[in-house]
Amino acid sequence: MLRGITGTLSLWLAGALALRALVVPGETCPPVSSASAATATSEAALWMDRALQDDGTYLYEYDAGKDRNTPEYNVVRHAGVTMALYMLAASGDRSGMATADRAMTWMRESLYSSGDRAAFQSPYDNSIELGATALMLAGLEQRRLATGDAQYDELMHRLARFLLAMQQPDGSMLSEWQIARGAPYAGIRSKYGTGEAFWALTVMHRLFPGEGWDQKARLTADYLSLHRDTVEQQKYPPWADQWAAYGLAEMADWPLNDDNIRYARSLADRFGFLMRVEAQRTDGWLSELVHGRKARAAGMGTWVEGLGSLWRLASADPRMADMRQKIGERAVCGAGMLASRQVSQSQAGQYVRPGIARGAWFTEGVTRMDDQQHALSALVRIQAVIDARNSEAGR
């Protein structure tokens, strides 16, 4: 009998070990406090300050292994990094305002105007993308929320009207503007741009209620909730769209309709799954082989941003309340991973250019400005979650 039991248990143990190693390694969530998150955001903002060049653009990408800057640029990411600095300001830390204002000046000097509309036009190839304008507007909105300064209100309205010019009757957004025709290119969409524009429109309603921005935002909310994944042929729906989550959180007290809530719940599930998988990843060869390499901050940051936004929604809307704790857990886990993976002041000394390494997030030796953007926004977004969880735990 004992031989049989021992044999059976040995077989089970071997199976359990294989399962543990290959399928369910432990999920590691480094601890993160409100203070450590704030330190990380501050370091990221300082990186952006150091990365801002004399012409008003940021250092786009740096390869530490080769000690080389990548000679290219992306205007959407420029707008995104700037927006993140304004978001930090809106949270109460205005240390990045001057940097953001200089970067915003670079965008304001490259405006395309058409009637009562304006858009951010790439000075490199003259293209006009929905996402760049949406994030420029989002940045100005965060600036307005941070300062109450109304000097850009007119510009914000012009940018927002451009977004409406890109909006289709079904709420979808076209992503590129054809200057010769004075109209958007038909059929070209962006998996990022729609959510970016949607969020920007929701915040326009907060800043300028009664002007009808909410109706336009609702149209796109319904498109995102019901049709986007099918129309835009997302392979594994829902598309993990943190911008949509920002917008839905902004609409929490409008309130959202049931379709929007269903969509928000599916987004929370998706972000949560991505976070669980990320928490299982290590730098070991087996982990890389089975689970892939660790996500870059530009990716993981968006998941934390999404979860942070959906946590706000779950805190406000009873139809999401049952998910609030889990969303908070996953979000804080992601924030812990982000904070722990940032290059600290002491670690930066090991790099050829410590000033570019410090406060940055590297993946395979490379950091790109949107790594810092999304990690910064995520850590700003997560502060409320950490504070609330600490407060609830203390009760």
In angstroms, what is the minimal distance from the CB of 328 to other proteins? 11
In this structure, how many other beta carbons lie within 10 angstroms of the beta carbon of residue 242? 27
In angstroms, what is the minimal distance from the CB of 275 to other proteins? 9
Question: Would you say 1 or 393 has its CB closer to other proteins?
Answer: 1
Question: Would you say 24 or 179 has its CB closer to other proteins?
Answer: 24
In this structure, how many other beta carbons lie within 10 angstroms of the beta carbon of residue 100? 27
Contacting residues toward other proteins, per CB under 8 A: 1, 4-5, 7-8, 12, 15, 19-20, 23-24, 26-28, 268-269, 271-273, 276, 280, 323, 326-327, 330
In angstroms, what is the minimal distance from the CB of 361 to other proteins? 23
In angstroms, what is the minimal distance from the CB of 16 to other proteins? 9
Q: Which two tokens stand for residue 257?
A: 């309709």
Question: Would you say 249 or 327 has its CB closer to other proteins?
Answer: 327
Quickly tell me which residue has 């890389």 as its tokens: 288
215-221 long-range CB contacts below 8 Å, 24 or more apart? 216/164, 216/167, 217/247, 217/251, 218/251, 218/254, 219/167, 219/170, 219/171, 220/167, 220/171, 220/172, 220/173, 220/194, 220/247, 221/171, 221/247, 221/248, 221/251, 221/256, 221/260
Which of 281, 276, 280, 274 is closest to 306 using CA atoms? 274
> Which residues have CB under 8 Å from 184's CB, separation 6+?
165, 166, 174, 175, 176, 177, 178
Question: Would you say 220 or 302 has its CB closer to other proteins?
Answer: 302
Question: Would you say 21 or 352 has its CB closer to other proteins?
Answer: 21
For 187, counting Cβ atoms within 10 Å of its Cβ (0-12 exposed, 13-18 middle, 19+ buried), the class is: exposed
d(CA 287, CA 222): 39
Question: Would you say 8 or 105 has its CB closer to other proteins?
Answer: 8
Quick one: CA torsion of 86, 87, 91, 92, rounded to 10 degrees?
-10
Cβ pair 339, 36 in contact under 8 A: yes
In angstroms, what is the minimal distance from the CB of 327 to other proteins? 7
In angstroms, what is the minimal distance from the CB of 114 to other proteins? 43
Question: Would you say 247 or 328 has its CB closer to other proteins?
Answer: 328
- The torsion region of residue 347 among left (phi > 0), alpha (psi -120 to 50) and beta comes to alpha
In angstroms, what is the minimal distance from the CB of 330 to other proteins? 6
In angstroms, what is the minimal distance from the CB of 310 to other proteins? 9
Question: Would you say 324 or 368 has its CB closer to other proteins?
Answer: 324
d(CA 79, CA 192): 13
Question: Would you say 191 or 326 has its CB closer to other proteins?
Answer: 326
In angstroms, what is the minimal distance from the CB of 377 to other proteins? 21
d(CA 142, CA 312): 17
